[in-house]
Structure 1
Amino acid sequence: MSMRWYTLVVDCHDIAAQARWWAETLDYVIVYEDAEEVAIVPRTMETDPVDDVARFRALPPGLVFVPVGEEKTVKNRLHIDLAPHTAEDRDGEIAALLDRGATRVHVGQPDDVTWTVLADPEGNEFCVLSSRDR
């Protein structure tokens, strides 16, 4: 038995702004939005029901943004890793993220790592890995 990783839930203050920031970052689209949650999924994802279990399990996860009142106080215990393709400009992608409101953060990583730690506009850490083709 196995289950599909369906979504990752992100706690935040401005759920609409965070959802739109991540949708642009990942080339996702908003599929649901109200005052209590905003859900985004890959632009290419099927939205019709999937009868085949293997196809259902192969679908990529979405992100759901929900409101919280408290401030973020410590490093995330779970974070997203992003990776550009080898044909893409990794430094350019990082610069674009920084231009859109991401910030560089230090979470204890040594200076010689192959990834860059950033935080989204509300301070949630994520990494941009080295370029790869798989």
Structure 2
Amino acid sequence: MALRWYSVVVDCRDPRSLAAWWAQVLGWHTVYEADDEVVIIPPHMVEDGFAERVPARERGQGLVFVPVPEGRTVKNRLHIDLAPEADDDQEAEVQRLLDAGARRVDVGQGPDVSWVVLADPEGNEFCVLSPRDL
């Protein structure tokens, strides 16, 4: 028996605002919103009949945003990697994210890496990888 990866939980000060930011960045949908939790999922997961067509183990994950009183103080121990599609432009995607409120972050990655480290509006680091098709 194996467990199913259901979601990634993001601690934050303002779940509604941060969830809306990530939903915009990823093109995802908010499917649950309360004071103590906001859930976003990929668009294919809200298509009619999705739950009947796709076994639970193959459905993918959502992001859940929950409030915490403290701010982030050290480098994330876990982060999200985003990748442009094979024919997309990494620099253009990075600029889109910066225009949306992300900022560049130095976590010691060095100048010759193929990815870009950014932080969301609350400081959670994530990477934008080089374009890929898988």
Give the TM interval when normalised to the shorter protein: over 0.9
Provide the C-alpha distance between the structure 2 equivalents of 1:26 and 1:44, rounded to a whole number of angstroms: 12
Cα contact 2:18–2:121 (8 A) shared by 1: yes
Provide the C-alpha distance between the structure 1 equivalents of 2:50 and 2:58, rounded to a whole number of angstroms: 13
Cα deviation code 1:16-70 (max 9, x no counterpart): 1100110111111000001000000001114778478x71101110000000101
Cα deviation code 1:78-117 (max 9, x no counterpart): 0000000111121111001000100000001111011000
3-state SS of 2:55 partner: helix
Unaligned ranges ≥5, structure 1: none
- Decide whether aligned partners of structure 1 residues 96 and 49 sit closer, same or farther in structure 2, where only a CA change above 3 A counts: closer
Unaligned ranges ≥5, structure 2: none
Q: Which residue of 2 aligns with 1:86?
A: 86
1:3: how far off?
1.8
Provide the C-alpha distance between the structure 1 equivalents of 2:126 and 2:79, rounded to a whole number of angstroms: 5
TM-score between both structures, scaled by the size of structure 2: 0.93
Provide the C-alpha distance between the structure 1 equivalents of 2:5 and 2:76, rounded to a whole number of angstroms: 19
What is the one-letter code of the residue matched to 2:56?
F
Q: Which residue of 1 aligns with 2:77?
A: 77
Q: Which residue of 1 aligns with 2:41?
A: 41
Q: How many residues align?
A: 133
Provide the C-alpha distance between the structure 1 equivalents of 2:94 and 2:51, rounded to a whole number of angstroms: 35
Q: Which residue of 2 aligns with 1:115?
A: 115
* RMSD over aligned Cα atoms: 1.7
Q: Which residue of 1 aligns with 2:56?
A: 56
Would you tell me which structure has more helix in proportion to its own residues?
Answer: 2
Provide the C-alpha distance between the structure 2 equivalents of 1:18 and 1:51, rounded to a whole number of angstroms: 30
